[in-house]
Structure 1
């Protein structure tokens, strides 16, 4: 078969080595075989993910083009002590806005206030305590804000998390923080937004809303979007909560029609933030490595938020969804007005508003 006997001999040795390798793996037992296959699949998954992230972020140059000056305007940004929220607050402060950092961690928030004041020279940047995992805290924040702040032009519901556990009120942590807390906050501040003239509400969602769904049987029985607390359940709860953000924005726009308030939701991109800080150590480690190599900076991730908050002429697009500073379509489920209305009604009941 081979004119060169040496090549034939080498090929036979290679085939024999492969067979022996497979034999020893199999003899090691099913558990060892499963572990090896898991490692192989993890490597393949990491390689594919890296490729997709590089491809996706090759188009990350979209920037907010608005030159709006915000002197005399007031903005509230939730989760503004780090990441996208801090970058958003920094930009708004540069434009002259009075910026309220609505955060849970006082130490980090006060450090962010110091940084933003130093970088912008704007002293009208301050911290107000808000824990979205507590409906009482949300009400306390709204009460304090309404007593001390005469206007509200921008409400940016930016805070988000993916973690196991329950809120103070017994709701799933991801559902409570990512959706329910922001839902209540928005409704409590809505009259002040209406009284301030042309104002906007921005809900930071995610592309992962496309994987989400809302099962009202689970929501009513478990006070959560999922039935477990595993890493997979946390991930799916996050996807479901991002769908809730889109549905909330859609129904809110319908209810605000004819008023001076408009609302928008968005996907900020895959951003290097402290998003995974509440997860397992190995998840945090992987998040850190990938974020440094492939993810957007918080400044780049804030651009679509700023576009929705500041760009002129978006009023006819109230209730819509943006990515990379451009209008995008949402999933079929996210366009379901009946689902959006039912989620609103259930959320009202859970917040004690009906």
Structure 2
């Protein structure tokens, strides 16, 4: 008998704006947080809090151990329920790796229509999430589900890190080499899928990238002495780099033609498969990014493309950058040197 997923409705058709796992507009969030007096900054054993705007919160337990806490969930971005579960889990776990930690335990977060979508499909989603968590050595211990007309799925994750060797967004320094560990373009591919224009091979390459854990990349970065890192998700490559640079009070140069791109993503960008999240990223960074006129328009869009479960963006010390890149490539990752941190206006990015 075929599995429930074999006859499942198109999950992406149930999700408005399903071209990417887009976040709320950053400017609106920043204004909201600025108006609140309950946002907890780092203090005492809280090494990273909400005020720092990093990938996860970090709470020190003792000299050598700190808890890393994060959560992430989103609406379907692919049609296959199990793949959606796998992508969502890898995306949630990524925040722990971006801080230099390893995930220990997670709980599911799910919203599901009580009518109109078989609950067996939710079982496929949860199974996909459990599969990726198991590969990460992370226990999944229950969770919480609500009735919602638009399905959503993700995880809340607790990890462990050494508080003496954390990676955070505010430690990039001029001279650091910028390394990206996965290709970009998942938002464009997902948008094309929603409109029936993504081929099977194109989609499979994107799913393989989104379900690939950032575990090896995180461990390699720690071994190379990296102290500044983030993962690339809804704000796009340039958006997350801008956040890192602003927190570090530095600028950067990006080599546009050296950024790895998913197969067919440039073609799909030329054909206009651009999500609303990507367009918002372009607008938000208009004053922060200087784009070389020689950069192809589709490349410029891809650099802003709203990603789901993207790679790690690492600011590596020059002395260890070559060895780190070699290590990443040795793990089979599509890693590349994409630029360097420079002196200059805080958050300023020049793309050559």
Shorter chain as normaliser: what TM range? under 0.3
Could you state the TM-score of these two structures normalised by the residue count of structure 1?
0.25
Q: Which has the larger radius of gyration?
A: 1
The structure showing larger relative contact order (alpha-carbon pairs under 8 Å, at least 6 residues apart) is 2
Could you state the TM-score of these two structures normalised by the residue count of structure 2?
0.25
